[in-house]
Structure 1
Amino acid sequence: MFDAMFCTPAVLSATDADAWLREMLRVEAALARAGATVGLIPADDAASIGSACVPELFDAAELGARAVASATPVVPLLLDLRARVPQASARFVHLGATSQDVMDTALVLIARRCADLILGDLWAVGDLLADLADRHRGTAQIGRTLLRQAVPTSFGVVCAGWLAGVDEAVAGLVRARGRLPLQYGGPVGVHDTLGAAGPRLAEALGELLGLPVPTLPWHTRRGPLAELGAALGAVGGALATIATAIVLLSQDEVAEVAEGAAGVSSAMPHKRNPARSALVLACTHQIPGLVATVLASQPVELQRSAGRWQAEWPTLTTLLRLTAAAAGHARAALGSLRVDAERMITTAGRPVLPEAADLLVDRVLEEHRAARP
């Protein structure tokens, strides 16, 4: 019922149960290949394991139900995976790993994919704002502080401010995405079953999965996920600022902007509601609480958390979905935005614009162009 409002099709597909299963199996297959690369697994056994890591051979819903008994879906997954490989190969499944290695790395792979999708919409949002800022650099608008009329600015400067906020949030998300690392350390993070070969296998695994390999496993240091959560929170804040302004400026009493594809009312045919902006706010309203949950998961009891770690999986899944939806709705709202420049100018009293207005717009546009991939 609510998926289309609170997620995008691409991110929903990248975070659903099948996606988690796919990435967990991807980790197990890559682990077998990495083991063969460093000489810990015979090549034929690694190939047998890889051939069995096919998502269609497993039932994600059933694995989830069986996961309750061990508080992780990795345990039932391994039972089924070992049953699908030749007996001689089964002992090499999950080589030197623990459940957290698989879950954390699968989460990292999912998060990096979703971040790429979110960033695509955010760059489009930025480009739309850059166009608005440039086109309306000369459109006077009354500034409003504490929701009261203040002194004139320009709508171009306002849009440039929104753009700067989005670009700052984008930079944070790019940074957080790039710092999401491989997790591989075994039961207590010291490769105890592999000895000196453990770090070599980790390097090979990181190369296969395209992930940076940290100096130490990060099972007791949740900083990478905290940074991701905070970055998604910053994105939500930047988008909520824009959506709030559109909602306020599109009121009948103000009517300076309007969504071009406005929503309708079930009871009042005359109404045209800022539906996309409302959805941005509905999504971003939920984000701070989820970020707080991610941050609250940082304390770890000794070598593995009992409960906080498990809480990260659904929390970050929902956080990625809501951020993606907010970015998509903001893109749609800005893409159809109608600006009543004459009404803005009239309300502002047709003032002479501040001398710095053009300079400020130019600086933000220059920074946006320089950062754009």
Structure 2
Amino acid sequence: MSVTPFDSVLFGPLLSDAELAALLDDRAQLRAMLSFEAALARAEGRCGVIPEEAAERIAEVADRQEVDSASLAEGTARDGIPVPALVAALRKAVGGEAAHYVHWGATTQDVMDTGLVLRLKQILDLLETRLDVLGEALAALADAERGTVMLARTRGQQATPTSFGLKVAGWLAPLQRHLNRLEEFEDRLGVLSFGGAVGNLSALGEEGPAVEAALAEELGLAVPAMPWHAQRDSLVELGNWLGLVCGSLGKLAGDVLLLCQNEVGELREGGGGGGSSTLPQKSNPVRSEAVLALARHAVGLTRQLQAAAFHQHERDGVAWQLEWLVLPQMIVATGAALRQSIALIESLEIDRARMRANIDATNGLTLAEAASFALSAHLPRPEAQALVKDACKEVLASGRPLVDILAERSDAPVDWEALRDPAAQLGAADTFIDRVLESRGSEADI
């Protein structure tokens, strides 16, 4: 068995995400760090800090060099970081006098943090695309099902009629807010990490800020107010955002999971699958289960990533290593949850007849609130509520419809036949669905 399902050939297709994992593996990390070294050499050559010929040679080699991660394993175990061994390998490959200028004025954390940021930009682009794809699928579903009447359930109990479209809009609305949050914090995350040994670029003297600016330009990153070696708030913010996304996906999957129960039967996962080793009749909600499990895992890790903010002094190896343990898992879990959620919604099967049958099976109990307000137009509100509550007890005892019992007990001029229609109790559902669609620019779907 693999250490985690994320690395498992067996469980990977269910719980992992190959596309995101490829941006987090050793090869991707080493490539990003070598990109930093190439850009650093170019920047320092432009600023006259190192000879231009040396800069060109270093950049040329770093841009094309492929380093076997296994060759760095012993050095990483010895030093607690891979960069000393990587720099040694790069210097050997560069050769000659130019090798002397490799990694000039930088420190390990500059290389690793900036390499991470470069990959996070690609990772966030992928997550944003998936959020948008899921959002479009949910927007179309919310619009199409705005007139589908179903039971609302509060605190695990049947409540009143509502619209399935409104429920779907409730899954969609937070996803749009997550996209807005992402747009807002991406700029804080996409910044260069370059501070030298203790965060003051002392090895570069007066040329430090100029090299910093040139390096940021080479890499397409912003320049922070100061080096952020020991300031991990942006990475923690990313983790919090991943937790928020997974929380919303878990809510969606949890709802679907409950509505797929045989006793409810209002939804089914499409696409086949979900078989049992011994029960031929079963079709298990595999995608919903996977999304909810991944969401719970990622949300649980947010606390651990927040603990990495306790960064001692100018560099803290313990807090730093905690990030290495936690953040990749959160990213892959979020990506996998999004992937499975898209497949879940795109293949979701809706049993509208069962939704209506479940309402009818309540014998009108889900119309109790509507009945109490209809009576309140003719009776004091407390009297109306008491009348309806007593009638509900008779429904449970006799199995007769609530509206019939109320019509017998009250001579108030209520249109009882109109009250029987659960579709008349959807309130402002259409308005709220329209607002959610408008919030993501989906007016054309309204």
Indicate whether the TM-score tops 0.5. yes
2:139–2:442: 8 Å Cα contact kept in structure 1? no
Correspondences of 1:43-192 after superposition (within 5 Å): 43-54=52-63, 57-180=66-189, 181-192=191-202
Contact 1:18/1:55 (CA < 8 Å) preserved in 2?
A: no
The whole-number CA distance in structure 2 between the counterparts of 1:254 and 1:193 is: 68
Deviates most, 3-12 or 54-63: 54-63
Matched to 1:78, the amino acid is V
| Selected match of 2:243 from 220, 230, 233 | 233
What is the root-mean-square deviation in Å for CA atoms of aligned residues? 1.7
Q: Any unmatched runs of 5+ in structure 1?
A: none
> What is aligned with 2:293?
282
2: CA distance, partners of 1:266 / 1:35: 63
Runs of 4+ in structure 1 displaced over 4 angstroms?
none
How far 1:200 sits from its partner (Å)? 1.3
Contact 2:138 2:168 in 1 (8 A): yes
CA distance in 2, matches of 1:297, 1:317: 14
Question: For structure 1, which segment, 19-28 or 307-316, has the greater mean C-alpha deviation from structure 2 after superposition?
Answer: 307-316
Give the CA deviation at 1:331.
Answer: 0.4
- Which residue of 325, 337, 355 corresponds with 1:344? 355
Cα separation, 2, equivalents of 1:146 and 1:61: 53
CA displacement at 1:3 relative to structure 2: 2.5
1:361 aligns with 2:370: no
State the Cα distance separating 1:347 from its structure 2 match. Answer: 2.1
Equivalent-residue separation in structure 2 for 1:188 and 1:301 (angstroms): 12
Alpha-carbon shift at residue 64 of structure 1 (Å): 3.1
Cα offset, 1:93, TM superposition: 0.9
Q: Which residue of 2 aligns with 1:221?
A: 231
Moved more, 35-44 or 65-74: 35-44
Q: Distance in 1 between matches of 2:279 and 2:64?
A: 49
Q: Equivalent residue of 1:188, what SS?
A: coil
Unpaired runs of at least 5, structure 2: 1-8, 361-420
Matched, 1:250 2:260: yes
Q: 1:61 to 1:285 in 2, by over 3 A?
A: farther
Query: Could you tell me how far apart the structure 2 residues matched to 1:260 and 1:120 are?
Result: 23
Per-residue CA deviation, residues 123-142 of structure 1 (Å, 9 max, x unaligned), is: 11111110111001111111
1:273 is aligned to 284
Distance in 1 of aligned mates of 2:430 and 2:31 = 50
SS of the residue 2:101 aligns to:
coil
- Identify the range of structure 1 (169-178 vs 351-360) with the bigger mean alpha-carbon deviation: 169-178
Local SS of the residue matching 1:273: coil
Q: Retained in 2: the 8 A contact 1:156–1:361? A: yes
Query: Cα offset for 1:244?
Result: 0.5
State the percentage of identical aligned residues: 40
Supply the distance in 2 between the matched residues of 1:69 and 1:14 (Cα, whole angstroms): 25
> Deviation at 1:237?
0.3
Range that drifts further, 342-351 or 99-108? 342-351
Deviates more, 1:113-122 or 1:53-62: 53-62
C-alpha distance in structure 2 between counterparts of 1:96 and 1:175, whole Å: 32
Mapped to 2, the partners of 1:177 and 1:347 lie a distance apart of 45
Letter paired with 1:365: L
Q: How many residues align?
A: 372
Deviations 1:221-249 (A, max 9, x none): 11110100000000100100000011100
In the alignment, what sits opposite 1:16?
Answer: 25
Matched, 1:194 2:266: no
Secondary structure of the 2:79 match is coil
SS in 1 for 2:153: strand
- Higher mean C-alpha deviation, range 349-358 or range 270-279: 349-358
Does the CA-based 8 Å contact 2:250-2:292 persist in structure 1? yes
Instruction: Determine the C-alpha separation between the residues in 2 that align with 1:315 and 1:46.
Output: 36
Distance 1:208 1:328 in 2: 33
Q: Could you list the per-position Cα deviations for residues 334-367 of structure 1 after superposition, in whole angstroms to 9, with x for gaps in the alignment?
A: 0101111222233234501323111000000000
State the Cα distance separating 1:70 from its structure 2 match.
0.9
TM-score with structure 2 setting the length:
0.80
